[in-house]
Structure 1
Amino acid sequence: MKKWLKQSLVFLVALITLGFIPPSHSIWEQLENGQDSNRTTSSDYNNIDVQEETVGEAPSEEGLAADDPIGSIIRLAHEQSYIKFGSKIGPVIEDEFEERIFPAMAQIIASKLDRLDDQAKQYLTITEKPGGNYSEKIFHIADGRTGKDLLRFHVRTEKRPQEGYYYNFHYHTYEDDYESHYTIGDIYYSKNTPPKWLS
């Protein structure tokens, strides 16, 4: 599929849904493989719903209602993560990220931000531009009134002798002035040097 057409479709989905529904990666795989994406049946949708609900650690779809500020932050966190990965790293780590890392991230976000009072939750913001090149920053969640970061989610590229490159997902919190690394998990990339973020 031509790149401009794919970008146009992503833009239209984002515009129509106001960015609340990220486009499914399976749609792009079907289009690139020449399969007819219009042949999706209602049972396919039921399977998708079941898979999302059985992740366990992540909040349920009911907990991510459109008027729920924490649910909105979690959706945006997912989107910002894939922007950071880019088209070169994303496909390599996508499965493990979806199975292990993002559900843990979502639970951390929900549990940490749930401690805030209702008024503070209404002013939550998330950074809109992940760090590129070799920067660790995926996204930061802040109090929009003060601009102070509450949570910082990062990914560090680590080269381990005889093993290769791993991505270490971790976060920092304002509670200890961002001093400690709280590890979420590692994903193996390859023995080859990984590309830069956003590429």
Structure 2
Amino acid sequence: MIDLKKWIYKSLVVSVALLSFGLITPKHEIWANFDEDRLDKSVLDRPSDNHISAAYQLDDIIVDEKPLPTTDDFVSAAKEQSYIKFGTKVGPVIEQQFETDIFPKIEEAIAMTVERVGDEKLRNLTVSEKPSGDYSEKIFHIVDGQSKTDVIRFHVRTENRPFDGYYYNFHYHTFEDNYSKHYDLGEIYWSKNTPPKWLS
């Protein structure tokens, strides 16, 4: 019985092709409706173009959504930028005191900042690169990449105190008071000699 169905189907295909001079091809719609048993079930189960398109769009959303940065991410970048600023002349001299007295307070200020901003804003925060050289104060800023504004600025000021010598005063400013107030992080004594320029 199955062989008879196949034979009738093939005969009809050939007959129609000959009679219509090839205008109706075996891939035409009518053949799809001719014998439902011939439909491959895997074709019916195959996802449509719409499903594939929706899957691609979902993949794009998942790939584009970067994970939230953590406090550790900011702390690691902060330390890197600090030592870039200190350079090879200042860094080795102040490293130990910076690590024990100053940097834990920087970590604390970063953690408080991360806690205060919501997830949406946190996603856009980055640590600035290129600390300033010469005797300029900027170590690094934490910046909102979307609004291009600084959320918190970490600075070090070189102070010359008569009869005493040079000190490095570490502090930060926040956007909440328009960067007007100094939040003290501590200071490190250099010596009575003029310190080298930053980045040197």
TM-score range relative to shorter protein = 0.5 to 0.7
Answer whether contact 1:70 1:121 (CA < 8 A) is retained: no
Once the two structures are superposed, residues 85-122 of structure 1 have per-residue CA deviations (whole angstroms, 9 ceiling, x without a partner) of 00000011000000010000000111122111112111
CA distance in 1, matches of 2:68, 2:148: 22
Deviations for 1:119-139, whole angstroms, at most 9, x for unmatched residues? 211111111100001110000
Matches of 2:117 and 2:153, distance apart in 1:
16
Q: Which residue of 1 aligns with 2:131?
A: 130
1:161: how far off? 1.4
Matching residue of 2:116:
115
Displacement after TM superposition at 1:67 (Å): 6.2
Cα deviation per residue 1:119-175 (whole Å; 9 max; x = unaligned)? 211111111100001110000101111111000000000011111100000000000
Q: Which residue of 1 aligns with 2:27?
A: none
2:166 — aligned with what? 165
SS at match of 2:184: strand
Q: Which amino acid aligns with 1:89?
A: V
| Aligned mates of 1:189, 1:137 — CA distance in 2 | 18
For structure 1, the residue ranges without an aligned partner over 5 or more in a row are 1-65
Amino acid across the alignment from 1:153 = F
State the AA in 1 paired with 2:180. E
Pairwise CA RMSD: 1.3
Q: Distance in 1 between matches of 2:173 and 2:68?
A: 27
TM-score (norm 2): 0.65
Q: Is the 8 A contact 1:168 1:185 kept in 2?
A: yes
CA shift, 1:74, in A, is 1.0
Provide the residue aligned with 2:103 in structure 1: 102
How far residue 69 of structure 1 moved from its aligned partner, in angstroms, is 2.9
Measure, in 1, the Cα distance between the counterparts of 2:180 and 2:116.
20
Which residue type is aligned with residue 94 of structure 1?
E
Asked whether the equivalents of residues 68 and 122 of structure 2 are also in contact (C-alpha less than 8 Å), the reply is no
**Whole-angstrom distance in 2 between the partners of 1:143 and 1:114:** 15
Normalised to the residue count of structure 1, the TM-score between the two structures is 0.65
Q: After TM superposition, what 4+ stretches of structure 1 lie above 6 angstroms from structure 2?
A: none
Aligned length: 134
Larger Rg: 2
